[in-house]
Amino acid sequence: MAITLDQVEVQAGGVLTRVPRGMPVLYGGNRVTTVPDSVADAFAPGDRLIVIQTTGDVLHIPAAEYAAVDAAVQRAREAFAALARVSDEQITDFYERFAARLADEPTWARIAAANEEDVRAARARGRSTTRLVADAKMRVKMIEGLRLWRDQSTRRDRVLETIEHDGWRVEQVVAGLGVIGFVFEGRPNVFADATGVLRSGNTTVMRIGRDALGTARVIAQEALRPALREAGLPLGAVELIESPSHAAGWALFANPGLALAVARGSGQAVAQLGAIARQSGIPVSLHGTGGAWIVADHTADATALDLAVYHSLDSKKCNTLNTLCIVERAAERLVPVALGALQRRGAQLGHGYKLHVAPGAERYVPGELFATRTRVLRAEGEVEEPVAEPLDAGRLGVEWEWEGTPEITLAVVQDVDEAVALFNAQSPHFVASLVSQDEAAHARFFRAIDAPFVGNGFTRWVDGQFALRRPELGLSNWQHGRLFARSGILTGDGVFTIRLRAVQADPNVHV
């Protein structure tokens, strides 16, 4: 279809007011995509389009969504300036007041009621609810996390280094970074965790997925905003974008007012958000595809492997065991151990287990498992599937998004070097563990494996609150490259910049 210039309506200043169907758009430097009919039909004056330069996806942001997000970012920018005049004691008081309100039974009852409605609606849409339920355990972790920030010393204004000169000195001083934008999936606890950026002098704008939006609204109304007011912090220090639209997230990650964009979730949605931020010139921290790997060599202790597998499968998170590699020399001894741990965890969770078997591993798996069908709990409900299924050799990195049925991939490899090569080629470069009694093997594994998180047992230790005693804002894999001077665990006190301050004792110092 040919598009003529008279079909593209443009205001003075080159602002689009109408987009025709099939309009060609340049992306990636030398490729062309076209505007989808649905986008063209919905486009109205004041709306915006974003073209993802890596994929050619054309995203539509209605004017109202853009304006609401931009207003929230502006309020957060104003709050960032105001926060510089707020004492550390006031920030400490905010965390205690926020925690106390979550600990208050009538307040939590209102939050729980909103969460029950969110869970009901999500299940009706066939959505996963494994991370959505605000149960007693999540409540305790939220309160503990806020009190960890209460007790954490601030890095704000801390002098990291002093360089002395004759008559003067230069100090490197920690300072807040600015407005931190968050987009995260249906996990109500992250809403509290993300307030950790205040401890280092930052403010935040958050967009939470539709599944948990009702819960987040009530947390903000009943606990967050009262705590901000009572502690004397600016209300704009924590902004919640109360929109279920994906366009709100797109608008946030394209806003030049952000100092850092953090996306928590999984799959294509997070990759798309990251692409928007990068091409908008905004630094990004992605918490995307996960799935941990465990490698067992010929020296592996059977009990150690059994417990590593069992304790890595208590629930589906990004740090859950996804792919298990056992060296061929120990396969006959260790595969039954691993399958026993998988079966035991499935029985404990009450929904069986699921196994994907890579080529070459079939002969170590009981044949009846390929013929036996079982009920597997998926987001859409229980479905009947084979207990074990063959898996193509090139799909070892597929992350299994299970509900209550633990699900892993099993591969038998020639040696640890082959397992490392497979991890580096196919995994999201996230969590890797080696079960071995050979210390030299552990040293070689740590050097060779391209992952930010490396262990020698269970994989679920990769959690900011569990490992570092700091609530995490996100976990970053190395799928898109290593991080510059930053841990793979992003925490509130890890979001800062460095300023330089010169102090002259001699006014006659000159260059």
What tens digit of pLDDT does each residue of 199-225 get?
999 999 999 989 999 999 999 999 999
Position 127 confidence tier, pLDDT thresholds 50, 70, 90: confident
User: What pLDDT digit, counting tens, does each position of 38-78 carry?
Assistant: 999 999 999 999 999 999 999 999 999 999 999 999 999 99
State residue 2's pLDDT score: 47
**Strands 284-287, 258-264: parallel, antiparallel or unpaired by DSSP?**
parallel
Q: Are the C-beta atoms of residues 314 and 341 closer than 8 Å to each other?
A: no
What's the rounded mean pLDDT across residues 381-396?
Answer: 95
State residue 458's pLDDT score: 96
Tokens in use for 9? 């309506």
State residue 406's pLDDT score: 97
CB neighbours of residue 154 within 10 Å: 16
How far is it, in rounded angstroms, from Cα 79 to Cα 82? 5
CATH number of 66-158+175-288+492-497: 3.40.605.10
Give residues with Cβ within 8 angstroms of 47, minimum separation 6: 60, 61, 62, 63, 66
How far is it, in rounded angstroms, from Cα 374 to Cα 346? 12
- Model-wide pTM > 0.85: no
CATH number of 292-467: 3.40.309.10
pLDDT at 313 over 60: yes
Residue ranges covered by each domain of the chain: 5-61, 66-158+175-288+492-497, 292-467
Location of structure tokens 């080629």: 425
Tokens in use for 285? 């921290």
State residue 482's pLDDT score: 81
How far is it, in rounded angstroms, from Cα 510 to Cα 341? 70
* CB-based contacts of 136-143 (< 8 A; 24+ apart in sequence): 138/188, 138/189, 139/102, 139/108, 141/189, 141/465, 142/99, 142/102, 142/188, 142/189, 142/192, 142/193, 143/99, 143/102, 143/103
pLDDT at 250 over 80: yes
CB neighbours of residue 203 within 10 Å: 29
State residue 1's pLDDT score: 46
Position 114 confidence tier, pLDDT thresholds 50, 70, 90: very high
How far is it, in rounded angstroms, from Cα 166 to Cα 437? 55
